[in-house]
Amino acid sequence: MEMSNKKTSPFLSFLFISAIFIQCFPYVSSIGVNYGTLGNNLPPPSQVAQFLKDKTIIDKIKIFDVNPDILRAFANTGISVTVTVPNGEIPKLLDIGYAKSYVEANIKPFYPQTKIDVIAIGNEILHWETPEVQNKLVPAMRTFYQALTQSGINTIKVSTPHSLGILLSSNPPSMARFRPGWDVGILAPMLQFLRETKGPFMVNPYPYFAYNPQQVDFLLFKQNKGVFDRFSKKMYTNMFDMLLDSVFMSMKRLGYGDVEIIAAETGWPSLGESFEPQCTVENAASYNGGLLRKYVSGAGTPLMPHRKIETYIFGLFNENTKPGSAAERNFGLFRPDFTPVYNIGIMKGEPLPLPLPPKPLPQPALPQPQPALPQPRGARHPGKPHVPRPGKPAPKLPAQPIPKPVLGNKFCMPKPEATDAQLQANIDWICTNQGVDCRPVQAGGLCFNPNTVRSHAAFVMNSYYQTKGRNDFNCDFSGSAVIVFADPSYGTCKYLS
């Protein structure tokens, strides 16, 4: 037989090797999932537990409360459970007596029959709670851990999940650091506690919130040119790794690079509104499939090679009563009847799918009179005490001209469905203690007119986003904001970019 002299492309070689790997190891590992319950058509916890145990490779769940029905249902399944103590309990947990009673009522009745591995004290406290609650977080974690040990429980870890709003910057990862004030004031004592108790540092990395059509392959684990960090000399082929390495370097700067990291939430919705074009079944399957392949490989990240990062996909089910855009209700791997929304190798005996090849980006001529679609970033998630994040087109502010696209710039705007109450709360929060100059929207300021809550909120929300690092997680505001690419400046009112 005649031999060909043609060289095989690196991508085809990768597909070939991947196919061999997949056939040999159809489901070599497992992965965690966030089990939210904001739906009126969801199956009972007992059926969920049996389904996960019998039909899937999921061996870890994370819930957003201490739901006794769920804890009871997962008894003797071998599936690990992370539970969440609500944010509002934090001030009370400083009292060791109250902490012990909380453990007696909510943990001991189910443990060890239910394999509770981690107790999360609140959720994204530093990003959304008041300084008063933030300053009580680490003492509450210590007191709760003490309550556990005094109750005879010494195998459960205590931690708390963080949004990536804790980062001052994340690009390049080698130069990342935590926000000043939080770094040595809260995060260093927390990391010291986690080191002492061998607990994990939990973060919620969402490449979804950084959606940009020009970087879609980089976000979705597809073949791409990569991003080179010129300081560490590391090449990144996906944003998930970049975000985790940014967290790692920030921890390392404080002297805690040895503390375990858990990716407590990450995912991609399969359906969204017309202004959420990134929310498709294909994109969700590509992201979560790539995530699963990465987790199974144990490859780690460029700065943490071969370090297996425990990962929890958001989420288990599509939840039909979640507020916000359609994307919020379609983060699930499964429909309520247990049918998969798409195949990523989660079912037992099901091979991991091969990575999807990149799609060529459309290249419309700039002069075409095609309005630029807004690029929303997200919507928030399940039954957790939470606030801010992004998702819809730029609102048309009264008495303003139509915004003009400005290539390369991004702006943070209120969603059209955001209420005046939400937007006023955003203004109050930003202008009170966040170091943002709000004088332009005050009487006599260049952006005072039109004198509406929405107009003022648009200016100050964008100012916050721009001055805090232009990270996509800085444009959230409890799901009341969205990233757009059209400059909303008008007249004498110039928006930062």
Q: Check 124, 129, 319, 328 and give the catalytic one.
A: 124
Q: Check 129, 265, 319, 328 and give the catalytic one.
A: 265
> Known catalytic residue: 124?
yes
Question: Contact at 8 Å (CB) between 497 and 475?
Answer: no
Spatial separation of the C-alpha atoms in residues 96 and 128, rounded to whole Å: 25
> Known catalytic residue: 265?
yes
Q: Which are the contacts of 335, defined by CB distance < 8 A and separation ≥ 6?
A: 317, 318, 341
Mind telling me the catalytic residues? 124, 265
